[in-house]
Amino acid sequence: MKILKKITECKSVVNNLKKKGFITGFVPTMGFLHEGHLSLIKMARKECGRVFISIFVNPTQFGPGEDFEKYPRDIKRDISLAEKGGTDYIFYPTAKEMYDTDFKTSIEVKELGSIMCGKYRPGHFAGVATVVLKLLNIVRPDKAYFGQKDYQQLVIIKRMVDDLNLDVEIIGGPTIRENDGLALSSRNKYLSVEERKNAIILYECLNMAKDMIKKGEKGLEEIRKTIMTDLEKNRFVKKVDYFDFRDPGTLEHVKRVDNDSKNILAATAVWIGRTRLIDNMIIKV
Amino acid sequence: MKILKKITECKSVVNNLKKKGFITGFVPTMGFLHEGHLSLIKMARKECGRVFISIFVNPTQFGPGEDFEKYPRDIKRDISLAEKGGTDYIFYPTAKEMYDTDFKTSIEVKELGSIMCGKYRPGHFAGVATVVLKLLNIVRPDKAYFGQKDYQQLVIIKRMVDDLNLDVEIIGGPTIRENDGLALSSRNKYLSVEERKNAIILYECLNMAKDMIKKGEKGLEEIRKTIMTDLEKNRFVKKVDYFDFRDPGTLEHVKRVDNDSKNILAATAVWIGRTRLIDNMIIKV
């Protein structure tokens, strides 16, 4: 496994691999790797001749007062996990390498970037889209892998890639969970023991929504309100940013189950103490 | 010469040329070709094995009430001129081919896109940057050529290409002028005979600025005001959007010539009747 810190170095490796005809896979990460990332690396390993990951805690996708500074980092552990997981190249740039002082470009994916998490984290998805576009241009992978846990991010990136006519296949990998159902996230590290126990409430309320829909409940707005109330009752829940039912393709609100309904996205963002967690579920109707 | 109307068709031609090792050059245009475009095609022809141009009147870079509908079009003449000029491929898509109904992505190059012409044409440079990025992703040229007449556009595209780590060299070609000095533009077609005669005032005032600076005048703000007044006196000038002195690299205002000054950009946008014309000059200090 090789660690590439410079953009030019990474591009030159990529050019060589392209010349040799390798299919390349890419898993962009912010590091502090967990089984979620490793499952994406495993997918890439199966489908591609060479596997790149990036480790870059991207400052531009954090808002003022968010957790950029304290975001967990452990590069040694990451390198070891990535290598064991089957990574060929880690692109590990500094912020200075990615953003020169005159940097001015920003990618907006309209509407999609300002709803759901975007409403509560203004600028977040512009930061994500911009850095992902840069990374895709640097690594030029045939396939890039993103976790479905960040479902809105996945939709936004797919839209951007289509809109900008990029030649990369965007692949979503399943959310990996702890035994009790909590979705893996580097931010779970922030939780106290008690918070950790109670954090399963996100997964529980998604399951509750699924059960109610499976039982034939049609009024999603009513389910939504019931669940919001439930969530807000939990004493470890400081705030519910949203619990929404959305179209999994367009992210538009879905208010009722009807005969045309196929899949429904249930998605939520909840503050457990001072930690903001997200989770979602595709519910088949 | 081949005309490619579909993105997939263009990409497949590009892939074949890349495999064969051709260096490709690209001149994006809105059609209604003139000697300005042809000079860029000639540059590309000299430096590249295969030359692409695009002809696409991009709707997203026109504001409401601007001249998208009446923008001059003559595809037959363009095809003939392009072929004689040495073009190998014309990419000639429809708006529907470029923008599907779910299109949502927009590229902003902050500050640079909202000053000078951007101040008077909000959204214009986001439209330009977005379509140019799409075209660059479709044609994937080694070199892309833009006229220096649209100086601000050239700076914005260079910035975007650097910021997004694209592998294309952006090359500016000199402004081509009529015998009396009027910069070539497809929009010159809008001018009446009388307006056409008076349109040289743009070039004249740029030269006046140059002469004053060459004579040792240091106060650019004073020169600017003098020239603005002069322009506004002309009875064919309906409105002066701006006459500015700027840094040719950063587009920041320059108010005085000092010992550090090297080149100064003088740039102007003037309404001659109902036609908005732009022109600029790099003045060596």
**Nearest residue on chain A to B101, judged by CA atoms?**
A163
Q: Are B81 and B38 in contact (CB under 8 A)?
A: yes
Please report the ipTM that was assigned to this predicted complex: 0.97
Interior angle at CA A144, CA A150 and CA A276, nearest 5: 15
> Which residues does chain B have within 8 Å of residue A162's beta carbon, measured at their own beta carbons?
100
B254: phi then psi, degrees, rounded to nearest 5:
-120, 125
Would you state the pLDDT for residue A3? Answer: 98
Could you tell me if B95 lies within 8 Å of chain A, comparing CB atoms? no
Residues in chain A: 285
Question: Judging by beta carbons within 10 Å of its beta carbon (0-12, 13-18, 19+), is residue A224 exposed, middle or buried?
Answer: buried
- Eight-state DSSP code of residue A141: -
Q: Of B178, B179, B160, which is closest to residue B170 (Cα–Cα)?
A: B160
Helix axes B75-85, B35-47, angle to 10 degrees: 40
Contact A106 B110 (CB under 8 A): yes
pLDDT per residue rounded down to tens, chain A (285 residues): 999 999 999 999 999 999 999 999 999 999 999 999 999 999 999 999 999 999 999 999 999 999 999 999 999 999 999 999 999 999 999 999 999 999 999 999 999 999 999 999 999 999 999 999 999 999 999 999 999 999 999 999 999 999 999 999 999 999 999 999 999 999 999 999 999 999 999 999 999 999 999 999 999 999 999 999 999 999 999 999 999 999 999 999 999 998 777 899 999 999 999 999 999 999 998
Cβ atoms within 10 A of the Cβ of A252, count? 11
Domains B2-173 and B186-284 share a fold: no
- Those residues whose C-beta lies under 8 Å from the C-beta of residue A283, and which sit 6 or more positions away, are A209, A210, A213, A214, A263, A264, A265, A266
B90: which strand partners?
A: B3, B53
Radius of gyration of chain B (CA): 19
Alpha-carbon dihedral sign for residues A68, A71, A77, A83: negative
Q: Of A162, A136, A158, which is closest to residue A52 (Cα–Cα)?
A: A136
Domain boundaries defined on chain B: 2-173, 186-284
Provide the shortest C-alpha distance from residue B238 to chain A (in Å): 34
Could you tell me if B167 lies within 8 Å of chain A, comparing CB atoms? yes
Tokens of B196: 């056409």
The shortest CB-CB distance from A105 to any of B11, B160, B250 is to B160
Residue A8 amino acid letter: T
Q: Of A224, A218, A229, A186, which is closest to residue A206 (Cα–Cα)?
A: A224
Tell me which residue has tokens 């020239």.
Answer: B227
B15, B112, B139, B165: which to substitute to probe chain A, counting the most A Cβ within 10 Å?
Answer: B165
Pairing status of strand A50-55 against strand A24-29: parallel
* Rounded distance between C-alpha atoms, residue B10 and residue B90, angstroms: 9
Helix axes A220-233, A201-214, angle to 10 degrees: 150
Provide the shortest C-alpha distance from residue A74 to chain B (in Å): 27
Would you state the pLDDT for residue A26? Answer: 99
**Nearest residue on chain A to B155, judged by CA atoms?**
A104
Residue A149 amino acid letter: K
Helices (H) and strands (E) in chain A, counts: 10, 10
Provide the shortest C-alpha distance from residue A97 to chain B (in Å): 11
A266: phi then psi, degrees, rounded to nearest 5:
-105, 130
* Rounded distance between C-alpha atoms, residue A79 and residue A20, angstroms: 26
The shortest CB-CB distance from B137 to any of A105, A129, A164 is to A164
* Rounded distance between C-alpha atoms, residue B125 and residue B127, angstroms: 5
Q: Of A68, A128, A71, A134, which is closest to residue A97 (Cα–Cα)?
A: A134
Fold topology of B186-284: Pantoate--beta-alanine Ligase; Chain: A,domain 2 (3.30.1300)
Reported pTM: 0.97
* Rounded distance between C-alpha atoms, residue B188 and residue B36, angstroms: 13
Contact B105 A103 (CB under 8 A): no
B163, B247, B252: which to substitute to probe chain A, counting the most A Cβ within 10 Å?
Answer: B163
* Rounded distance between C-alpha atoms, residue A158 and residue A171, angstroms: 9
**How many interface pairs between A and B have CB atoms less than 8 angstroms apart?**
74
Radius of gyration of chain A (CA): 19
Q: Of B51, B54, B55, which is closest to residue B17 (Cα–Cα)?
A: B51
Interior angle at CA A8, CA A2 and CA A9, nearest 5: 20
CATH 3.30.70.60 is right for the domain spanning B2-173: no
Alpha-carbon dihedral sign for residues A19, A22, A25, A26: negative
Q: Are B279 and B204 in contact (CB under 8 A)?
A: no
Q: Which residues of B44-65 are buried (b: 16+ CB within 10 A; e: fewer)?
A: bbeebebbbbbbbbbebbbeee
Strands, E, within B196-272: which ranges?
A: 237-246, 263-272
pLDDT in tens, A7-51: 999 999 999 999 999 999 999 999 999 999 999 999 999 999 999
Q: Are B134 and A133 in contact (CB under 8 A)?
A: no
Provide the shortest C-alpha distance from residue A144 to chain B (in Å): 17
Instruction: Map residue A242 onto helix, strand or coil.
Output: strand
Contact B137 A166 (CB under 8 A): yes
* pLDDT mean by block of 10 residues, chain B; 285 residues: 98 97 98 98 98 98 96 98 98 98 97 98 98 98 98 98 98 98 97 98 98 96 96 96 97 91 94 98 95
Tokens of A66: 């968010």
> Which residues does chain A have within 8 Å of residue B106's beta carbon, measured at their own beta carbons?
107-110
Would you state the pLDDT for residue A261? Answer: 73
Provide the shortest C-alpha distance from residue A245 to chain B (in Å): 20
Helix axes A151-163, A124-139, angle to 10 degrees: 60
> Which residues does chain B have within 8 Å of residue A102's beta carbon, measured at their own beta carbons?
159, 250
Catalytic positions of B: 37
Q: Of B139, B135, B147, B158, which is closest to residue B48 (Cα–Cα)?
A: B139
Would you state the pLDDT for residue B262? Answer: 84
Tokens of B184: 């070539």
* Rounded distance between C-alpha atoms, residue B250 and residue B242, angstroms: 17
Cβ atoms within 10 A of the Cβ of B110, count? 12
Q: Are A237 and A271 in contact (CB under 8 A)?
A: yes
> Which residues does chain B have within 8 Å of residue A11's beta carbon, measured at their own beta carbons?
165, 167
Tokens of B51: 């030359």
Cβ atoms within 10 A of the Cβ of B124, count? 21
Catalytic positions of A: 37
Contact A112 B102 (CB under 8 A): no
Contact A165 B138 (CB under 8 A): yes
